[in-house]
């Protein structure tokens, strides 16, 4: 039998199918989020089943998580993204003690207990300055793709200081820097530094290693280096970091089926 996890995030919908017995990943899919969130998630779910040559009768359980989890009608139940990310990360990185997840509209810092449960967490969902939205804004302003930001930051000789705590005001700062002929590479490096500083500020104290970086922003080259520099210790990027929430949801669906 198969179990499914659907992470209906603010910027994208991610789905993972796992074998309910072995927890091996059977298939996965992603799509940009839209207005009709339930219809989008349902279409993506049905397409993934079709691509894997499965029908709904083969699915023993579906757990939804993420920002729009309550809108996913194909789910049997919902579980918070905090719990799902912890589960997904511990599955791919069993020794993980700290999880830093940066998504499109929020960021989270999880401290895990030895058994993999969430001992403590902090979350920023009120300011986009510590999220992927900040990177999207600077990429659009500079006229480049997100995938180009990592190489640009590496070429920076002096990262620009981005002091504003709000993306709206930070964009004004960036416009001013461009008008002053600041190198785009320095602006990108400055934005990366600003994002990770806001995330690390949630920690309040030293982070226990190993630290695992997950979420869609972990896909952007250079962000792991910026994060490691900010916390003063190595950072491991989770395999398929955008999918860890959906993976955790699918694993929790499998556990519920066993119980």
Please say whether the dihedral angle defined by the alpha carbons of residues 232, 233, 238 and 244, taken in this order, is positive or negative: negative
- Indicate the DSSP class of residue 239: S
CB 251 within 8 A of CB 243: no
> Nearest Cα to 188, choosing from 248, 227, 134?
134
Q: Identify whether residues 38 and 106 lie together within a single domain.
A: no
From first to last of the 259 residues of the chain, give the pLDDT tens digit: 999 999 998 788 999 999 999 999 999 999 988 788 899 999 999 999 999 999 999 999 999 999 889 999 999 999 999 999 999 999 999 999 999 998 877 788 999 998 888 998 888 755 555 566 778 888 888 888 878 888 888 888 888 888 766 666 777 888 888 888 899 999 988 888 888 887 777 777 688 999 999 998 888 888 898 889 888 899 999 999 999 999 999 999 999 988 7
Q: Identify whether residues 55 and 114 lie together within a single domain.
A: no
Q: Identify whether residues 228 and 206 lie together within a single domain.
A: yes
CATH of the domain at 161: 3.30.420.40
Q: Identify whether residues 231 and 251 lie together within a single domain.
A: no
Q: Identify whether residues 142 and 109 lie together within a single domain.
A: yes
Q: Identify whether residues 247 and 167 lie together within a single domain.
A: no
Q: Identify whether residues 38 and 121 lie together within a single domain.
A: no
CB 235 within 8 A of CB 102: no
Tokens encoding 172: 């004004």
Q: Identify whether residues 73 and 128 lie together within a single domain.
A: no
Report the pLDDT value the prediction gives residue 73, as an integer from 0 to 100.
Answer: 96
Go through 43-75 and write b for each residue having 16 or more CB atoms within 10 A of its CB, e for each that does not.
ebbeebbeeeebeeeebbbbbbbbbbbebbebb
- Would you tell me how many other CB atoms lie within 10 Å of the CB of residue 116? 15
Our count of domains for the chain comes to 2
Domain that holds residue 230: 95-237
DSSP conformation letters of 36-55: SHHHHHHHHHHHHHHHTT--
Q: Identify whether residues 145 and 126 lie together within a single domain.
A: yes
* Distance separating alpha carbons of residues 168 and 148, to the nearest angstrom: 22
- pTM (predicted TM-score): 0.87
Report the pLDDT value the prediction gives residue 22, as an integer from 0 to 100.
Answer: 96
Report the pLDDT value the prediction gives residue 199, as an integer from 0 to 100.
Answer: 78
Q: Identify whether residues 195 and 221 lie together within a single domain.
A: yes
* Distance separating alpha carbons of residues 110 and 24, to the nearest angstrom: 24
CB 118 within 8 A of CB 132: no
Q: Identify whether residues 186 and 247 lie together within a single domain.
A: no
Cα→Cα distances 52→55, 61, 208, Å: 9, 16, 39
Please say whether the dihedral angle defined by the alpha carbons of residues 181, 187, 188 and 189, taken in this order, is positive or negative: positive
* Distance separating alpha carbons of residues 90 and 85, to the nearest angstrom: 8
Across 54-97, the runs of DSSP E, i.e. the strands, are 59-65, 77-78
Q: Identify whether residues 232 and 248 lie together within a single domain.
A: no
Report the pLDDT value the prediction gives residue 173, as an integer from 0 to 100.
Answer: 84
């Amino acid at each position: 039998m198969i179990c499914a996890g659907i992470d209906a995030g603010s910027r994208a919908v991610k789905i993972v199918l796992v074998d309910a017995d072995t927890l091996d990943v059977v298939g996965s899919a992603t799509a940009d989020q839209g207005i009709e969130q339930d219809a989008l998630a349902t279409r993506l779910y049905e397409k993934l089943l079709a691509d894997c040559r499965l029908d709904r009768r083969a699915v023993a359980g579906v757990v939804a998580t993420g920002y729009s989890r309550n809108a996913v009608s194909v789910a049997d139940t919902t579980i918070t993204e905090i719990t799902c990310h912890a589960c997904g990360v511990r599955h791919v990185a069993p020794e993980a003690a700290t999880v830093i997840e940066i998504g499109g509209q929020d960021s989270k810092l999880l401290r895990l207990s030895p058994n993999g449960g969430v001992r403590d967490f902090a979350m920023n969902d009120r300011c986009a300055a510590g999220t992927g939205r900040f990177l999207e804004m600077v990429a659009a302003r500079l006229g480049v793709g997100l995938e180009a930001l990592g190489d640009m930051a590496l070429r920076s000789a002096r990262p620009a200081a981005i002091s504003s705590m709000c993306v709206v005001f930070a964009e004004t700062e960036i416009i001013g820097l461009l008008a002053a002929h600041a190198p785009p590479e320095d602006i990108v490096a400055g934005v990366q530094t600003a994002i990770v500083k806001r995330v690390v500020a949630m920690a309040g104290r030293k982070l226990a290693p190993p630290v695992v970086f997950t979420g869609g922003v972990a896909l952007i080259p250079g962000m792991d280096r910026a994060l490691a520099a900010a916390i003063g210790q190595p950072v491991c990027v989770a395999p398929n970091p955008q999918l860890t929430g959906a993976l955790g949801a699918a694993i929790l669906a499998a556990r519920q089926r066993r119980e």
